[in-house]
Each structure stands twice: as C-alpha cells, then as structure tokens.
A and B are shown apart, each in its own frame.
Chain A
Amino acid sequence: MSATEIRGRFDTASFDEDDSDVVVIVGSGPGGGTLAHELCERGIRCVVLEAGPHLTAEDYVQDEWEAFNQMAWLDPRTTSGSFRLAKDFPNLPAWTVKAVGGTATHWAGATPRFKAHEFKTASTYGEVDGASLLDWPISLEDLEPYYDRAEEKMGVTHKGGRPPLPANNNFKVMGNGAAELGYRHIATGPYATNSVPFDGRPATVQDGFNFQGDKQESKWSPLVSELPKAALTGNLDLRASSHVCQITHDARGRADGVLYVDEDGALHRQKARAVCVAGNAIETARLLLLSDSPLFPDGLANSSGQVGRNYMRHLTASVYGSFDKEVHMYRGETMAGVVADESRHDTDRGFAGGYYMQLISLGVPFMAAFVDPGGWGPDFTRIMDDYASTAGMWLVGEDMPQSTNRVTLDGGMTDAHGLPVPHVHFDDHQNDLAMREHAWTQGTKVYEAVGAKNVKRTPPYPSTHNIGTCRMSARPEDGVVNEWGQAHDVPNLFVSDGSQFTTGAAANPTLTIVALGIRQAEHIASEIGRGAL
C-alpha cells in the first residue's frame, strides 16, 4: 500500500483557541465524525477534540492483544451490579476505542435499521416491571430519510444496488443451520464493508481483522471517510490526543467552551458557539457529570437527574459450535452474516423485544480470553483444541433500560489527569435474562441442526454497544436531550452519540448514530442560520 492511498492520514486546518465562532465536537467516532463532516460541508467550522491518537492503517497491527493495547480505551473504570462483567472483567466494562475515528475503527460493520416499534417501546411493550421504558420523541418515519443517506455514506451492502458479500466459512455453518431450523431471514448483510470498490476505497480482501482496525480501509469509519472529507472543506480542525475534562458555561448557563488536556499534559481552553459531546455513552455521561458547577450542581444538563442513568449495553451473548470438520471461522469478514427471524417483538417467547444472530469470530488469543471467562482445565482446553473446527455467532438484542443502571463518578479512583473515573453499575433485567436464555437455546439449535458435537454458551464480552446515558425525551423531566439531541437545559449543548438513544432496539447502534448525526447537523446548521446558536 503506497502512502498516498492511506485515506486515514490527513492534516486539518488550525483555528484559534479564542475563536468563539467554532462548534466544538468532543469525540471523533461515528457520532462526532459524522456531525463534523456534515457541519463542515455546510461551511460551519468545527474543532474536533479526540482523546486518543491519530492512528492510521499503517499503524494497525493484525495481532489481537497488541492491537487491543494500541487502540482500546484502557483508562481505569470500576463496576458493580449483578451483570457477569463485574466479575469477569471488573475494570473493563466496555471495549471501545481511544483513537481518531473512535469505536467505529474497530467495529465489524453490521448495519440493521431500527424497527418502527423500537422507537415506541413504552407504547408497544406496555408496563415492564423495573424498566424505565420511554417512547422516542421521533419515529422510524422521521429517521428513514436519514437512514437512506447514512447507508449511502457508508456504502452498506444489499442497499443502493451494492452487491452482498459472499458467504464465508463461518456463514456457511450458521446459514445452513438456520435454514435447517426453519429460519428464513438469512443474509450476509446489510454490512458497511465494501463488497465492491466504493467511494475510492477497495473491496474487502477478507483478511478477518476488524476489531484490530482495518489496514485495508474497505470498511467505513470516520477515519477513512467523514473526517478526511471534512478536512478537504478547510473547515475542520482535528486535535488528537486531546482529552476534554470540562465543558464551561457563561453566566446565562450557555456552554461557552471546553477545557482539555493535550498529550503533554498542558491545559487548554477552546471557546465555542456550541458544544457537541460524542465520547461514547460512558465518557459522555462522565463529562457532563464532571462539568458540575454552582449553576449546575448535579452536572451539566442534569436537572432531570437522568444523566448517566438508563445505561444499556445490549443483550449480547455468543454461541460457539464445534464440528467434526474444519471451519476456520477467522477467515473473512468477522460479522458478515445475520439471521433476523428473532428480531421481531413477540411476547410468546417470554420476553419483550427481539434479537439478531450475527456472525462472530475470534482468533486464538481472544478466544482463550473470552469464550469461557474464568475457565480452565480439560473442559476449557477441549474448546481450544477444537478451534479450527469451531463456528461462532453473536447474539445481539434489546436490553431493558433501568433507571438504576447508571454511570456515576467513582469517589475513590482518579485517572492519569486526576479526574474521577467512571463507575458503571449494571443489573441484568429479568427480560434480558429470559432473552439471553432463549437466544442461547436457539443458537445451540442452529449449530446442532448441522451436526455440532459440542456447543458453548459464552457470556457477554466487555460492552461494545454503550447507549442511553443521556436519553432523548419529549419532556425535559424524562431525559437529557430533545429530539435533536439538544440538551433540554442548555440550548447550545448537544449529545451526538449513542448516549441519546431513548431505548436501545435490537440493532447494532452505529447506523442509527450516523443517521442521527446527519439529522442533528441539519438542525444545528438551521439554528445557526437563524441566529439561535
């Protein structure tokens, strides 16, 4: 690969820290990156502050632990609650990325849309004990035009005339098992990795590395698409290794800038006409809580008390089936396969909401770490000995929002900057447990239908889908932001990532984060145009 072909390597403009005309965006992932691009195209200058370094394709390594240590957000966090992650990975509740492009630089690429009823769960599911369900203030109809645009932006397969990805080995197992079981909604996408060259980026060579960053740039991410396009406008100032520690406000309670620490530990103040937070659900909530003040004693934009609450992480579980013959699941696109039959809402199954079966594969290092956390002895090594003849599926479904599942500031531990670390409390809801049991059972049947000799039920990995901590609500008392992601309490403060999801739906969140980002950019541009921001 010649240097000029690396789209993720680009330079940006440089704006003054006292320039109060810029929009400051905290985070450069799918939310922040998309918003930045859309605003820059409209002539609005943006300063994007990214806590992590500017890694590019040539930096990425196709080695699971080395890549993990290079890319993952490893700042300390603490956990509590009944969810198994608190025991298995107590300081790693989430697996997100700290680098330019955010967690979308290690995502796999699955892009289902939300369904109509998933925007209206309080109305559809009714009263669910212990769940803080709420209808979104927007509907599927509101978002559909933006889904269309997001799918075009991302080059999603099965859409816009783009062909599906071919079946890899792992998919052949799941697809055949699902068909044997009577499932019908079986496909290799929609998936945001190129099946044919698109947008100046190549088709996938099926190298099997997604969670380690995409060396080939065939997968959509802000790093290779939104951010370099924004840079071309001249309206983007991207500052990597810049960790925002406080959003500041003026006497009227409007956001007027941010304080951030650069990689040398120096403190900067960047002024802003508006601040948009897209730090992923744990860090976004943490930043608002860290921005407390005499005017906002419970944290910025938190008069509702909802900042940090209703933290969701999706059902998640996996099933690994081993066979008499070889599979080599790690070859090819990690998640290019879906069975959607169970994504419907059908309470005859004993739970509300639905789930998808999607492909997953892990290399040997991660298989050992995640297939059976805490496992050892002959039962464990049998799983590893079967590695080459093992197929894997991920189970991703809607989990119930609960007011008590929340991100708070840890009273006892601080990070390298001296800031309180986030504490994540999570109890599984009965509905989550019932859905996970159903999903494990159905996943087992899928593999048994094509002759599995052993099937392993794997518990959740550290959360890659982190949502809901600054939820969207029609009424200010029910949530943190309105239908535009605009804080109810602070009109020039926006939440621009999955934190704003009112409920989580079954679908992987990235497509919806991008669609909301496009929609939010239109609103911000319109507000600036009429002099309101």
Chain B
Amino acid sequence: MATTETGTAATTLTSQASLALLKDVARAMFPHPSFPDAPYEHAVGTIVAAAEADLRVRAQLEQGLRDVDVVGGAPFADLDDAARLDVLRSIEGTAFFEHVRTRLVTGLYDQAPVWDLLGYQGPCPDGNGYLERGFDDLDWLPDPQIEDPAREEIVR
C-alpha cells in the first residue's frame, strides 16, 4: 500500500495526539502512580513503530483510539481515573485492547528504569552475583533449617 508523508492514513497513529492518547490508555491499563511518563511513552512508541509495518494492526489501533475517545461519553483525556478504567473494561477482549495489553505487559516491564522503580536489580555487572550482594540479607525472619533431619521418612 502506498503511503505519503502528508496522507492522513500515514500520520494519524504517529501524531502527537495519538501518542499522547495511547500513553494515557497505557497508564490507565497499567497504573503505577510512582512511574513517570517516560516508560509509558517508550512502550507506546514501540507499539506504534511496530504497527507501521503491519497494516491490519495499524488500522485496528487507529480505530481503537478513536473509539476510546467516545465510549466514555467524553474524550479519554478528560475522564478521571475511575472513568478511564470503565472505558477500558467496556472494551476488554477486543482486538485493539488485547493488542495493546499484550505489548504493554512485555514492553512496559522490560525497561531498566522500570526495574529500578520496582526494586529489581537484574544482573550483577561483574558476574559475581549476589553472593556478596545480599542474597541472604533478609533479617526479619530467623534462619530456617537447610537440611531435613527426617528426610528418610519422606524420600521413598
């Protein structure tokens, strides 16, 4: 399909308005009050970039975003958090919703800044693991047994 720089079909999804709306949808779908916008914007950018190469997905996303702006009775951006959730609940299971949800659940949480926000340290840079970095630093419980003295009672 031929597209042009100025044609509506070629630019709607990548417009600032579309990206902002999809970011709002992403925030409503995976609401983390402690997160800045950047990880959402990154995840949304990946979704939109991938859609560029897939006409069907692009069409679904474009129509989906138009629908999101009407099913709540007002533009999505004007709704409060509860009303945004209601909009998403009303379209759960649609191809648009599932496409966005499945991409976000991988894309949003596969970012180092998000790991930091959630307290996941990922790999140790020098290959030395957590042996000297707190693999056993939990101190709010006593040390449990690490060998079962009654093992012979259960093992066979």
Contacts and interface: CB of A to CB of B under 8 A. Distances in A.
A186 B118 contact: no
A187 B121 CA distance: 26
B154 A380 contact: no
A185 B30 contact: no
Interface string A194-208: 000000000011111
Contact of B129 (A208, A367, A369): A208
A418 interface: no
Contacts of B131: 204-206
B130 A387 contact: no
Given A328-B119, A332-B136, A450 B141 contact: yes
Interface range on chain B (Cβ under 8 Å from partner): 35 or more
Interface stretch (B7-15, B64-72, B107-115): B107-115
Nearest to B145: A186
Interface string A455-485: 0000000000000000000000000000000
Contacts of B150: 184-185
Most A CB atoms within 10 A — which of B110, B138, B154? B138
A325 B140 CA distance: 8
Contact of B147 (A1, A158, A205): A158
Interface string B122-156: 11100111110111111011111111101101111
A344 interface: yes
A378 B133 CA distance: 32
Most A CB atoms within 10 A — which of B120, B129, B146? B146
Interface stretch (A9-17, A159-167, A495-503): A159-167
Nearest to A203: B131
Nearest to A174: B144
B123 A62 contact: yes
A363 B144 contact: no
A116 B154 CA distance: 11
Interface string B33-63: 0100000000000000000000000000000
A261 B29 CA distance: 45
A240 interface: no
B130 A331 contact: yes
A340 interface: yes
Nearest to A164: B146
Given A65-B106, A205-B129, A385-B32, A328 B121 contact: yes
Given A207-B127, A369-B106, A377-B88, A186 B122 contact: no
A169 interface: yes
A417 B125 CA distance: 39
A330 B144 CA distance: 18
A158 B153 CA distance: 16
Nearest to A187: B148
A204 B154 contact: no
B74 interface: no
A355 interface: no
B143 A167 contact: yes
B30 A330 contact: no
Interface in A257-294: none
A342 to B, nearest CB: 10
B154 A332 contact: no
B95 interface: no
Contacts of A112: 155
Nearest to A388: B119
A364 interface: yes
A169 B121 CA distance: 14
Contact of A1 (B120, B127, B130, B145): B127
B156 A175 contact: no
Given A187-B151, A204-B129, A381 B146 contact: no
B77 interface: no
B136 A169 contact: yes
A387 B118 CA distance: 6
A512 interface: no
Contact of B133 (A184, A216, A331, A340): A331
B136 A387 contact: no
A108 B105 CA distance: 25
Contacts of B141: 172-173, 176, 450
B65 to A, nearest CB: 17
A367 B122 CA distance: 13
Interface in A328-377: 328, 330-332, 340-341, 343-344, 363-365, 367-369, 376-377
Contact of A216 (B119, B122, B127): B127
Given A115-B156, A187-B145, 4 more contacts: A188-B146, A204-B129, A209-B123, A215-B127
16 contacts: A62-B122, A62-B123, A63-B123, A65-B110, A140-B156, A164-B146, A175-B145, A176-B142, A204-B129, A204-B131, A209-B123, A363-B120, A364-B120, A368-B108, A384-B30, A384-B109
Interface of B: 29-32, 34, 85, 88, 101, 105-106, 108-110, 114-115, 118-124, 127-131, 133-138, 140-148, 150-151, 153-156
